[in-house]
Amino acid sequence: MGKILFVINPIAGDTDKGHLKNDITKILGSNEISFFETTGEDDETKLNEKLDDVSPEITVACGGDGTVNLVVKCIIGKDIKLGIIPLGSANGLATELEIPADINQAINLYNNPKVRTVDVLRVNDEFLCIHLSDIGLNAKLIRRFEGDNSRGMVSYFKHFFQTFFSKKAINYSFDFENDFFQYKAEMVVFANAKKYGTGAIVNPVGELGDRKFEVCIFQPYPWYAFFRLTYLFFVGRLNYSPFVKIVGTEKITVTGEQPEHLQIDGEPIGKFKKVKVEVLPDQILVVC
Ligand SMILES: Nc1ncnc2c1ncn2[C@@H]1O[C@H](COP(=O)(O)OP(=O)(O)OP(=O)(O)O)[C@@H](O)[C@H]1O
């Protein structure tokens, strides 16, 4: 086994990671291991320097989806495999890949690593998304929550209700290279995967390595449809709702009548009127 670099986000998930390095060294003692800690500032440049220095075979994101996204940005196009130790408040990709939530079991995977190929999405020619991105309702909620120092579940639900009760639908045009349509929508999801870290299955037909992604369009619905919609969300049957359109594609440009919040892999990116998404097939080998 070649070198393994562990990228630790010390603040992810708000948990104590004091034992992490020791646990990794104990479980993987016979391997050549190095560590890199994120600071939240200029991590991409610093991690790229570390990768040049260490030349690892595997780089393991120890954190949530934001840390995974950082590692993917730095290893894409290089001959380096991705690993994940799920330590974030949102571990959407790790859950999707069925990486054990038990940290020691997740570390133990590197004693006998098996890999699978996953696609990556490129957003507005600039950002990479490996899990889920969306514009509208959810992105606005994430932006509000991230901007609140008080975090935690109480804060999350406060922002959830504030965002939910002030939601509005706007007109979007959907330009698939060989098709074009317009809909009013409250939220548009660009889904490489199936489900959010909460377990809500936004894209029942999602597959991480199918060389395409799905556009999930949430249209406005009457209040009484809320309960069925929530049920369908959690049992993975949103494609049975008349208010949700799910379309598979390799490329799309979505243009809203006004700029809307965009989030990528759980990180708020800003407001955009136009969002172009394309799949980069078979980009990453991930240990799972
Ligand atoms: N040392 C640090 N101090 C402060 N912020 C950091 C640090 N290292 C990374 N970050 C920030 O952590 C975020 C990524 O967190 P990640 O998604 O992996 O975990 P998380 O627990 O799910 O976090 P969040 O709830 O913020 O999404 C990025 O916004 C990144 O800039």
CATH number of residue 31's parent domain: 3.40.50.10330
Report the separation in Å between the CA atom of 214 and the middle of ligand 1, taken as the mean of its atom positions: 27
Q: What's the whole-number mean pLDDT along residues 44-67?
A: 97
Whether residues 140 and 275 fall in one domain = yes
Q: How far, in Å, CA of 90 to CA of 20, rounded?
A: 18
Whether residues 72 and 202 fall in one domain = no
Whether residues 205 and 256 fall in one domain = yes
Contacts of 141 (CB under 8 A, 6+ apart): 159, 160, 163, 164
pLDDT digits (tens, 9 = 90+) for 104-157: 999 999 999 999 999 999 999 999 999 999 999 999 998 888 887 776 677 777
Residue 86 Cβ < 6 Å to ligand 1: no
Whether residues 137 and 15 fall in one domain = no
Report the separation in Å between the CA atom of 12 and the middle of ligand 1, taken as the mean of its atom positions: 5
8 belongs to a structural domain:
yes
CATH of the domain at 199: 2.60.200.40
pLDDT digits (tens, 9 = 90+) for 249-280: 999 999 999 999 999 999 999 999 999 999 99
pLDDT digits (tens, 9 = 90+) for 58-116: 999 999 999 999 999 999 999 999 999 999 988 999 999 999 999 999 999 999 999 99
Residue 96 structural domain: 4-113
* pTM score of the predicted model: 0.92
The amino acid occupying position 240 is Y
Residue 214 near residue 121 (C-beta atoms within 8 A): no
Residue 90 Cβ < 6 Å to ligand 1: yes
120 belongs to a structural domain:
no
288 belongs to a structural domain:
no
- ∠194-197-203 over CA atoms, to 5°? 20
Tokens of 208: 């991480």
The total of structural domains in the chain comes to 2
199 belongs to a structural domain:
yes
pLDDT digits (tens, 9 = 90+) for 214-225: 999 999 999 999
Q: Which helix (H) or strand (E) holds 172?
A: strand 170-176
Whether residues 265 and 152 fall in one domain = yes
Q: How far, in Å, CA of 12 to CA of 174, rounded?
A: 35
CA torsion sign for 79, 195, 269, 125 is positive
Whether residues 228 and 149 fall in one domain = yes
- ∠161-88-136 over CA atoms, to 5°? 35
Whether residues 146 and 236 fall in one domain = yes
Whether residues 186 and 76 fall in one domain = no
Percent of the chain whose predicted confidence (pLDDT) is above 90: 83
- ∠83-64-278 over CA atoms, to 5°? 75
Q: What's the whole-number mean pLDDT along residues 2-30?
A: 92
Residue 9 Cβ < 6 Å to ligand 1: yes
Name the DSSP class of 155: H
Q: In degrees rounded to 5, what are phi and psi of residue 281?
A: -70, 150
Whether residues 131 and 94 fall in one domain = no
Whether residues 131 and 109 fall in one domain = no
- The pLDDT confidence band at residue 164, using thresholds 50, 70 and 90, is confident
Name the DSSP class of 195: B
Burial class of residue 99, CB neighbours in 10 A (0-12, 13-18, 19+): buried
Report the separation in Å between the CA atom of 66 and the middle of ligand 1, taken as the mean of its atom positions: 6
119 belongs to a structural domain:
no
Last residue of one domain, picked from the residues 113, 148, 178: 113
Last residue of one domain, picked from the residues 79, 113, 147: 113
Mutate which of 6, 7, 9 to test ligand 1's pocket (most atoms within 8 Å of Cβ)?
9
50 belongs to a structural domain:
yes
Last residue of one domain, picked from the residues 88, 113, 138: 113
Whether residues 141 and 270 fall in one domain = yes
Whether residues 194 and 88 fall in one domain = no
286 belongs to a structural domain:
no
